[in-house]
Structure 1
Amino acid sequence: MNKTERLHHMLRFINQKQRFTLPDLMQEFQISKRTALRDITSLEEMGAPIYAEYGRYGGYRLLQQMQLPPISFNTDELHALYFAMQALRSFSSLPFQTTFDSVHQKFMAALSDQQRENIHRMQQRISFKHTEQIRDSSHLELVLHAAVQQMVIQITYPHQSKSVNRNVEVPVSTRIIQPITLSASKGYWYCQAYDLEKTAYRVFRCDRIISAILTSIEPVAHLADEQNAHLQSLWKPSVHAISFQCRINETGIEQFKQNHYPSMRIEEQNGVRLLIGTYEPHELDFIVSYLAGYGTSIQTVEPDTLKDSLKQYYLNLVDRI
């Protein structure tokens, strides 16, 4: 970055840090000691109230927080922001109901004619292929609010053994949960949460949440402190999980990198590359459908129960042709 951009970034850096040293600036902005000293002088000339503290543990201190200038972006940054926004096209449901169209209109209105023309020319040279969102998630905003504020909510959710059909009434259950995080994957929003009644961690598909309301139930305090460990436990296999493996070729490995789950991995044993993982007993249909997508990229499937189910899956496909 040029000096003007660096000074703007440096103003924000020291405004947040309040106390800093020359090595801090040198490391943060990858500059020499001489350049860091010159930049401090330039910041003082711009009105930054910087006070030098001498001695063994000395450094620099900002006497008071500054009112920072408006954020400005160079041409490359504007292009990066614009094309990063294209990911929003994939989601008809977003937290706080922000839509791509409203963000896009405000962004484009703030650009100069030349900048809009540059983006238009780039649009003709770049295309994006998105995984479209499968179903709307109407309670996404409330779930995110509960996760951020560490609040407990009550939801109604279809039984796991039943698929959701909007035109057919299906059995549902009431769940008391404390949302932890939200994630988007393969066209769906997921909520990792703690089920207070089952005292267990669960993953809920947000589009399957039929209703959601805030409660006055006291949240579980330790969730925030041990969040990473809890999220990892969400994907740990149960004692009933079934291990599987199959040989996989290079084409299959490329496909695996594009689409796999935390319960799966690629290993090499005695020069043979294997797709190894686990699945729960009720996930047999899912794992069969997943492996079938590899076609001839996999072979020698174990255990036999999974291999037989995969063979039956192919036979059913043939019968339908």
Structure 2
Amino acid sequence: MKKSERLNQMLRFIHQQQHFTLQDLMQEFQISKRTALRDIASLEELGAPIYAEYGRYGGYRLLNHMQLPPISFSSQEIYALYFAMQALRSFSNLPFQVSFHSIHEKFISELSESQRQEIERMQNKISFRHTEQIKDSAHLEILLMAAVKNSVLQIEYQKAHQKSSRHIQPISIYSMKGYWYCQAYDISKKGYRVFRCDHITSAKLTDIHPLEDLNEINMQNAHSLWKPSEQAVQFKCTINQTGIEQFQQEHYPSMKLIHETESTFIVGWYEPNEVDFIVKYLARFGKSIKIIEPIILKERLRQYYRDLLDHI
């Protein structure tokens, strides 16, 4: 990292910390003590109001808030931001009612002419393949902010020809295979659920007190809330390396991979009303899996293949 870039980042770091030590700077920026001392002297020369405190709990302190310089990005950072921004292109809906087009226009307009030309050349050398968003989802912002602020929503949920009113506490939202999903605790059903956002026809805040236990739950550990009912059916399948790679691309909280001796298995459970869903899911693995149990699931998968053949 160039010294000018490091000093710029250091200004923001000490502005956020207010009180800091040499050790803080050495650890944050991976520099030596001598370099940290030189950088502090350079910041003072630039006008940063840094005051040295001596004693056992000494260090450095900002005397008052200072005006930070505008954020500047290196060319490599600009290209990295542009590549990351391409993920927005495939979405017709995003939280906060923004679109790829508006962000793209503002981003490009702030670049120098040479940077714009470089990005244009890159566009002709690289292709971004995304799954296009299939259905519009109109309530992403309120779902996301409810998750952030730990609020309870009342939603109207339309699935097939059934419509129901639910009280949910959103945990997170995510996009997968062209759809937006909301992980939430369904207060009405007293259980963890995943809702397709395009099936949510309305969403509004309520005064219902949220469950405090969900404060620390995030997208990574939300599966810990997913509990089977007493009627849930356990299943187990052998899986080869091709299937493992497919499983890692798409799986659900109710299933996992386990390794026993020299074999790998998918184990999990499904509710009785989800049998058609699990059959279609397993059918996508083709020859890379073999159902061990239950026998009824194996028979349902065979019947699924027979129906496909009859349809040809």
TM-score by length of structure 1 reads 0.90
Assess if the C-alpha contact under 8 Å between 1:178 and 1:219 holds in 2: no
CA distance in 1, matches of 2:236, 2:48: 62
The structural deviation recorded for 1:245 is: 1.6
CA distance in 2, matches of 1:173, 1:59: 60
Pairing 1:268–2:263 present:
no
Give the aligned partner of residue 241 of structure 2.
250
3-state DSSP of counterpart to 2:174: strand
Quick check: 221-230 or 291-300, which moved more? 221-230
How many percent of aligned residue pairs carry the same amino acid? 62
1:190 corresponds, among 181, 196, 208, to 181
Pairing 1:227–2:217 present:
yes
2:279 corresponds, among 266, 288, 291, to 288
Give the aligned partner of residue 114 of structure 2.
114
Assess if the C-alpha contact under 8 Å between 2:191 and 2:226 holds in 1: no
Q: 1:300 to 1:180 in 2, by over 3 A?
A: closer
Quick check: 170-179 or 20-29, which moved more? 170-179
The structural deviation recorded for 1:71 is: 0.7
Q: 1:178 to 1:62 in 2, by over 3 A?
A: same
Give the aligned partner of residue 309 of structure 1.
300
CA distance in 2, matches of 1:300, 1:198: 31
Aligned length: 311
List gaps (5 residues or longer) in structure 1: 164-169
Give the aligned partner of residue 137 of structure 1.
137
CA distance in 2, matches of 1:309, 1:234: 29
Give the aligned partner of residue 176 of structure 1.
167
Q: 1:225 to 1:139 in 2, by over 3 A?
A: closer
Amino acid at match of 1:68: L
List gaps (5 residues or longer) in structure 2: none
3-state DSSP of counterpart to 1:278: strand
CA distance in 2, matches of 1:207, 1:234: 23
CA distance in 2, matches of 1:90, 1:238: 37
CA distance in 2, matches of 1:11, 1:315: 68
Amino acid at match of 1:293: R
Cα deviation, 1:238-266, whole Å, max 9, x if unaligned, reads 33322212221111112122222222222
CA distance in 2, matches of 1:197, 1:318: 42
Give the aligned partner of residue 102 of structure 1.
102
3-state DSSP of counterpart to 2:141: helix
Amino acid at match of 2:9: H
Amino acid at match of 1:67: Q
Amino acid at match of 2:22: L
CA distance in 2, matches of 1:214, 1:259: 32
Q: 1:185 to 1:196 in 2, by over 3 A?
A: same
Cα deviation, 1:111-165, whole Å, max 9, x if unaligned, reads 111101111111122111112222110122222233333333322112xxx52xx
TM-score by length of structure 2 reads 0.93
Alpha-carbon RMSD across the aligned residues, in angstroms, is 2.0
3-state DSSP of counterpart to 1:128: coil
The structural deviation recorded for 1:76 is: 0.3
